Amino acid sequence: MRNKKKSSLHKQSLRERNAQKMAQEEQELAQLSEVERAERREAAFQERLRVKKEREAKLQAGYESGIRFIVDCSYSHAMNAREMRSLAKQLELCSAVNKRAKVPVRLEFCGFKGELKCVA
């Protein structure tokens, strides 16, 4: 119960900060002309594209020359449903963290069989 309350308070705090940030951005945008707003949106879009391309290039370089990790999931017959869901979440987290890592690795998963194949 304590963790749920703490999580709820944290989420509320994030919502409030985001609302304040959005209000501040709206005020800044209200002071700009339509052309300046369009330029600002285009600059933000180009920055997101640049970051995405850099991340993809870094990930590709890691796949080609990085350390190779293979996770064998063929032992799913020894797990219950809860353990399989947990494993699927952990694999998902590993993949997400690897994408954001400074030096990504070549992360491969194999041996998906039975119920684990459905969960993952």
Summarised one tens digit per residue, pLDDT across range 1-17 is 567 777 888 888 889 99
Confidence of residue 34 (pLDDT cuts 50, 70, 90): confident
Please spell the DSSP secondary structure of 44-107, one letter per residue.
HHHHHHHHHHHHHHHHHHHHHHS-EEEEE-TTGGG--HHHHHHHHHHHHHHHHHHHHSSS--EE
**Residue extents of the structural domains in the chain:** 32-119
Predicted TM-score (pTM) above 0.75 = no
pLDDT in tens, 56-115: 888 888 778 778 888 888 776 777 888 888 888 888 899 889 888 888 888 888 887 766
Q: Would you state the pLDDT for residue 117? A: 56
